[in-house]
């Protein structure tokens, strides 16, 4: 099975390919297929952005498409950065700039009150079918010092107390067990199996 992933984020693509290739599903992102239309992620929710990306690419290609939007919600910041996670420090902010802003906003918040949740919403768009949605989440705390080199975004400061590691320090097996995106991907794999015949028509 071949599927288009509506992203140009190389970090996301790597994670998706690692999961889906084990199920004989080939993932091609927007870089792979030369898709150069800019899709503004301007919806008010993660679900809205995931749906928009899947719909736009599906309509243009007339092929099944999966997409995701993920966000970090920090309780002490009333859920911020949330849907603005990728651009928390500005429209074209780097991962480092987003982390710096988050830590600045949390500088007066004690460690025990830095509870955070990662959420991933994934959408499946199949031509002539209704959009289908799955979600995954994981809970942890935000720490001040970056640890680990895996993952991307806020991964080096998102800490799992139960295993005493940040998301950036997880082995692949640990990441597959704990990550919000991995949890959503496992649900998406079930959805793809249920819709296998429809998908393979295109």
Encode pLDDT of 74-118 as tens digits: 999 999 999 999 999 998 899 999 999 999 999 999 999 999 999
Task: Say which residue the tokens 């297929």 belong to.
Answer: 33
Point out the residues that are catalytic: 69
Alpha-carbon distance of 146 to 149, in angstroms, equals 9
* CATH code for position 171: 3.90.950.10
Encode pLDDT of 114-173 as tens digits: 999 999 999 999 999 999 999 999 999 999 999 999 989 999 999 999 999 999 999 999
Encode pLDDT of 33-59 as tens digits: 999 898 988 999 999 999 999 999 999
* Range(s) of the domain holding residue 63: 2-199
Alpha-carbon distance of 121 to 71, in angstroms, equals 9
Contacts 24+ apart (CB under 8 A), 168-176: 172/18, 175/15, 175/150, 175/151, 176/19
Q: Which residues contact 90 (CB under 8 A, 6 or more apart)?
A: 97
Position 147 scores a pLDDT of 97
Give the mean model confidence (pLDDT) for residues 3-31.
93
Nearest to 180 by CA among 165, 158, 150: 158
Alpha-carbon distance of 84 to 94, in angstroms, equals 13
Position 151 scores a pLDDT of 87
The CA distances from residue 51 to 5, 142, 163, 164, in Å, are: 12, 29, 34, 35
- Report the domain count for the chain: 1
Task: Assign 3-state DSSP to the chain and report helix, strand, coil percentages, each to 5.
Answer: 40, 25, 35
pTM, full prediction: 0.93
Position 91 scores a pLDDT of 87
């Amino acid at each position: 099975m071949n599927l288009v992933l509506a992203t140009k984020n190389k970090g996301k693509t790597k994670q998706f390919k690692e999961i889906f290739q084990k199920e004989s599903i080939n993932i091609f992102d927007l870089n792979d297929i030369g898709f150069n239309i800019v899709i503004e992620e301007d919806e008010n929710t993660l679900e809205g952005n995931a749906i928009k990306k899947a719909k736009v690419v599906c309509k243009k290609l007339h092929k099944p498409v999966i997409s995701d939007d993920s966000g970090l919600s920090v309780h002490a910041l009333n859920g911020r950065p949330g849907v603005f996670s990728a651009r928390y420090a500005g429209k074209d902010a780097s991962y480092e700039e987003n982390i710096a802003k988050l830590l600045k906003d949390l500088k007066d918040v004690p460690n025990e009150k830095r509870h955070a949740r990662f959420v991933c919403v994934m959408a499946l768009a199949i031509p002539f079918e209704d959009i289908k949605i799955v979600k995954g989440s994981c809970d942890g705390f935000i720490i001040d010092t970056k640890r680990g080199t895996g993952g991307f975004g806020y991964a080096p400061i998102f800490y799992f107390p139960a295993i005493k590691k940040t998301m950036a320090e997880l082995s692949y097996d640990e990441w597959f067990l704990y990550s919000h995106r991995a949890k959503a991907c496992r649900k998406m794999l079930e959805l793809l199996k249920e819709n296998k015949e429809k998908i393979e028509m295109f």
